[in-house]
C-alpha cells in the first residue's frame, strides 16, 4: 500500500479529547508534550479562587489553606492583579507547593528591582513542587547582572509544570532556569526579551565583561548527573526568543528537550541552542531569522563530552544529526503526540503581538482564560484541503511513529483506508 504524505496545519485531532476550546487554529489552549507524559497536569482546577495584589498575599495563597494554615497541596487558582513587587530574600521566597494555577490578569506583572545576589529573583519553586500551571504572567527582573544571582523564574526539583503565554523580561541571572532533577515540563507560547542594558560593573560571576543576558539554563552543572540524569525532560513549543537574548535559548544538560515551532529573532547573539553534557535536543520546524547564530557545542570539558543533537526542517538552519557517545537519539513522537505547523508560518503565528507568544491573553476572575486580551480575532482556520484528485505538491515519505486519526478525530490503525492525520500530516492510504 502506497502512502502519500503532505503537510497541513491540522490540529483538530489533538483537541478532540479535551473539553477546553482552542484559542486558534494553532493554539490548543491546553498543555501537551512532556508535562503530559505518563500523567496529567491540572494545577488548581476545582480549588479556591483568590485574587492577590501584594507579595504577602501571593505567598499566603501559595503556602496556606483558607484557614491560613500551611497546606502546600491546597488546591487554588491564584489571579495576579496589578504590578506586584517581589522584595523578600530568596530564602523566604522559595516555595514547594502542589496543585496551583497562577493566572495573570491583563496588565499585571511580578517584578523585582533589586540587584543583589539573594534578592533579584521573582519566583523560585523547589523540591516537592508538582502540578503547577502558570499562564499570562509577566516576570520582570532588574536587568542582567552577573553576580551568580537569582532568576526571574527557577524550578528546582519540580515535577509537572506548564508555563503558557508568559513574558520574561530582563532576568538578573537568567530569565527562566530549570535544574536539580526537575521533570515533565512544558513551556508554550512564551516570550523572552532583554530590554535593559546589563550592569557591567561589579560583576563576580562567570562572564568576562558582565554580559549575562542569558535566558534559559536547563541543568546547572555537568557534575549533577546523580540528580538530573534522566530528568529535565521539556517541551518548548511556539516560544519566541527576541531582543537582547544573547545565549541559552535554551542551553541544555541531561534532558530530552523538544524545541518545536519556535521563533528566534535575537540577531547578533552568541548562540541559541546550546547542547551540553548528556543533552538530547530535537529542534523541529523552528525559524531562525537572518543573522541569528543557531547553536553551539557546550559539551567540551574532558569527561563530559556526550550529547545527542538534531535539527529538522528549520529555517536558516541546515538539518543536523550529531552525537558523541553511545546515547540514543531522542524522537519526540515516540513519547507523545504533537502536530505543529509548517515552518514558514512561524513568523506570522508565533510572532503576532496580539495572538502569538507572550502574555496577551484575556483572563477573567471566575472564568480563567477566555480569549486574547485585546479581543483580536483568533488566527483563521487553515483553508480546507481539497479531496485528492490528481494530487499536487505531495512527496513520498515515511510515516513517523505515533497515533493515527481519521477526519472525525477518531483514533484508528495505520492501515485504515482513506484520509488519516498523523503527526500533523495528512496521509492518503490507497490500495
Mean pLDDT, the chain, rounded, equals 87
Hey, what's the cell of 390? 490528481
What average pLDDT does the segment 276-301 reach? 98
How far is residue 136's CA from residue 360's CA, in Å, rounded to a whole number? 7
Residue-wise pLDDT tens digits, 109-151: 999 999 888 888 999 999 999 999 999 999 999 999 999 989 9
**pLDDT at residue 404, as a whole number:** 61
Cβ–Cβ under 8 Å, residues 187 and 350: no
**pLDDT at residue 387, as a whole number:** 53
pLDDT beyond 50 at 319: yes
From the CB of residue 384, how many other CB atoms can be counted at a distance below 10 Å?
A: 7
With a CB cutoff of 8 Å and minimum separation 6, the contacts of 301 are 222, 277
Q: Check residue 214 and report its DSSP letter.
A: B
**pLDDT at residue 218, as a whole number:** 98
Query: Cell match 484559542: residue?
Result: 23
Q: 244-258 burial by CB neighbour count: b if 16+ within 10 A, else e?
A: bbbbbbbbbbbbbbb
Of 338, 330, 347, 209, which is closest to residue 278 (Cα–Cα)? 330
pLDDT beyond 60 at 1: no
**pLDDT at residue 119, as a whole number:** 81
How far is residue 320's CA from residue 337's CA, in Å, rounded to a whole number? 22
Q: Note the pTM of the prediction, 2 decimals.
A: 0.84
H/E stretch holding 268: none
Q: How confident is the model at residue 419 (pLDDT cuts 50, 70, 90)?
A: low
> What are the DSSP E strand ranges found in 33-89?
48-52, 76-80, 83-85
What average pLDDT does the segment 155-170 reach? 98
**pLDDT at residue 430, as a whole number:** 58
Count how many Cα atoms sit within 13 Å of the Cα of residue 394 in the half-sphere of its side chain: 17
Q: How confident is the model at residue 20 (pLDDT cuts 50, 70, 90)?
A: confident
Hey, what's the cell of 19? 473539553
What average pLDDT does the segment 290-317 reach? 98
With a CB cutoff of 8 Å and minimum separation 6, the contacts of 80 are 52, 58, 102, 103, 104, 105, 108, 109, 110, 137
Hey, what's the cell of 44? 488548581
**pLDDT at residue 423, as a whole number:** 61
Of 262, 333, 325, which is closest to residue 295 (Cα–Cα)? 262
What average pLDDT does the segment 394-402 reach? 41
Hey, what's the cell of 150? 537569582
**pLDDT at residue 410, as a whole number:** 53
Residue-wise pLDDT tens digits, 78-120: 999 999 999 987 677 789 999 999 999 999 999 999 988 888 8
pLDDT beyond 60 at 161: yes
Cβ–Cβ under 8 Å, residues 44 and 100: yes
What average pLDDT does the segment 163-181 reach? 97
Determine the 3-state secondary structure of 56 from DSSP: helix
pLDDT beyond 70 at 62: yes
How far is residue 168's CA from residue 195's CA, in Å, rounded to a whole number? 10
Give all strands of the β-sheet with 123-125 in edge-to-edge order. Answer: 94-95, 123-125, 153-156, 176-179, 217-218, 251-252, 273-275, 295-297
Q: Which one is predicted more confidently, 365 or 392?
A: 365
Cβ–Cβ under 8 Å, residues 172 and 145: yes
pLDDT beyond 80 at 71: yes
**pLDDT at residue 401, as a whole number:** 46
With a CB cutoff of 8 Å and minimum separation 6, the contacts of 356 are 189, 238, 240, 263, 349, 350
Q: Per DSSP, what are the bridge partners of residue 97?
A: none
Q: Per DSSP, what are the bridge partners of residue 321?
A: 310
> What is the total residue count of the chain?
431
**pLDDT at residue 428, as a whole number:** 65
With a CB cutoff of 8 Å and minimum separation 6, the contacts of 225 are 254, 277, 278
**pLDDT at residue 206, as a whole number:** 85
Q: Per DSSP, what are the bridge partners of residue 199?
A: none
What average pLDDT does the segment 276-280 reach? 98
Give all strands of the β-sheet with 76-80 in edge-to-edge order. Answer: 48-52, 76-80, 98-104, 130-135, 159-164, 183-188, 234-237, 256-260, 279-284, 307-312, 320-324
Residue-wise pLDDT tens digits, 332-346: 999 999 999 999 999
How far is residue 269's CA from residue 98's CA, in Å, rounded to a whole number? 37
pLDDT beyond 70 at 377: no
How far is residue 337's CA from residue 318's CA, in Å, rounded to a whole number? 25
Amino acid at each position: 500500500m502506497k502512502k502519500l504524505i503532505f503537510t497541513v496545519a491540522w490540529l483538530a485531532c489533538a483537541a478532540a479529547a479535551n473539553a477546553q476550546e482552542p484559542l486558534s487554529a494553532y493554539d490548543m489552549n491546553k498543555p501537551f508534550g512532556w508535562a503530559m507524559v505518563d500523567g496529567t497536569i491540572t494545577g488548581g482546577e476545582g480549588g479556591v479562587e483568590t485574587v492577590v495584589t501584594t507579595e504577602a498575599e501571593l505567598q499566603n495563597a501559595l503556602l496556606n489553606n483558607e484557614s491560613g494554615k500551611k497546606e502546600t497541596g491546597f488546591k487554588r487558582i491564584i489571579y495576579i492583579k496589578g504590578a506586584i513587587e517581589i522584595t523578600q530574600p530568596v530564602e523566604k521566597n522559595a516555595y514547594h507547593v502542589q496543585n496551583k494555577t497562577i493566572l495573570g490578569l491583563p496588565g499585571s506583572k511580578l517584578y523585582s528591582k533589586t540587584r543583589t545576589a539573594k534578592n533579584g529573583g521573582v519566583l523560585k519553586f523547589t523540591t516537592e513542587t508538582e502540578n503547577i500551571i502558570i499562564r499570562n504572567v509577566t516576570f520582570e527582573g532588574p536587568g542582567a547582572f552577573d553576580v551568580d544571582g537569582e532568576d526571574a523564574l527557577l524550578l528546582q526539583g519540580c515535577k509537572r509544570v506548564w508555563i503558557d503565554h508568559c513574558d520574561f523580561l530582563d532576568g538578573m541571572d537568567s530569565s527562566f532556569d530549570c535544574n536539580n532533577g526537575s521533570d515533565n515540563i512544558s513551556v508554550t507560547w512564551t516570550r523572552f526579551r532583554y530590554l535593559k542594558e546589563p550592569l557591567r560593573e561589579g560583576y563576580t560571576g562567570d562572564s568576562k565583561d558582565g554580559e549575562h543576558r542569558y535566558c534559559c539554563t536547563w541543568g546547572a552543572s555537568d557534575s549533577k548527573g546523580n540528580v538530573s540524569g534522566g530528568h529535565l525532560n521539556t517541551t518548548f513549543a511556539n516560544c519566541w526568543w527576541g531582543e537582547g537574548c544573547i545565549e541559552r535559548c535554551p542551553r541544555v544538560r541531561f534532558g530530552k528537550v523538544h524545541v518545536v515551532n519556535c521563533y528566534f529573532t535575537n540577531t547578533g547573539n552568541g548562540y541559541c541552542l546550546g547542547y551540553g553534557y548528556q543533552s538530547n535536543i530535537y529542534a523541529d520546524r523552528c525559524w531562525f531569522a537572518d543573522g541569528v547564530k543557531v547553536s553551539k557545542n557546550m559539551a567540551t570539558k574532558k569527561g563530559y563530552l556526550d550529547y545527542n543533537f538534531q535539527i529538522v526542517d528549520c529555517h536558516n538552519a541546515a538539518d543536523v544529526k550529531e552525537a558523541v557517545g553511545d546515547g540514543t537519539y531522542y524522537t519526540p513522537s515516540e513519547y507523545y503526540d504533537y502536530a505543529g505547523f509548517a515552518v514558514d508560518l512561524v513568523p506570522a503565528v508565533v510572532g503576532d503581538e496580539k495572538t502569538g507568544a507572550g502574555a496577551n491573553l484575556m483572563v477573567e476572575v471566575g472564568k480563567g482564560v477566555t480569549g486574547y486580551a485585546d479581543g483580536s480575532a483568533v488566527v483563521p482556520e487553515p483553508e480546507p484541503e481539497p479531496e485528492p484528485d490528481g494530487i499536487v505538491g505531495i512527496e513520498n515519505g515515511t510515516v513517523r511513529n505515533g497515533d493515527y486519526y481519521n477526519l472525525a478525530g477518531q483514533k484508528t490503525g495505520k492501515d485504515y483506508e482513506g484520509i488519516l492525520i498523523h503527526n500533523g500530516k495528512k496521509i492518503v492510504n490507497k490500495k
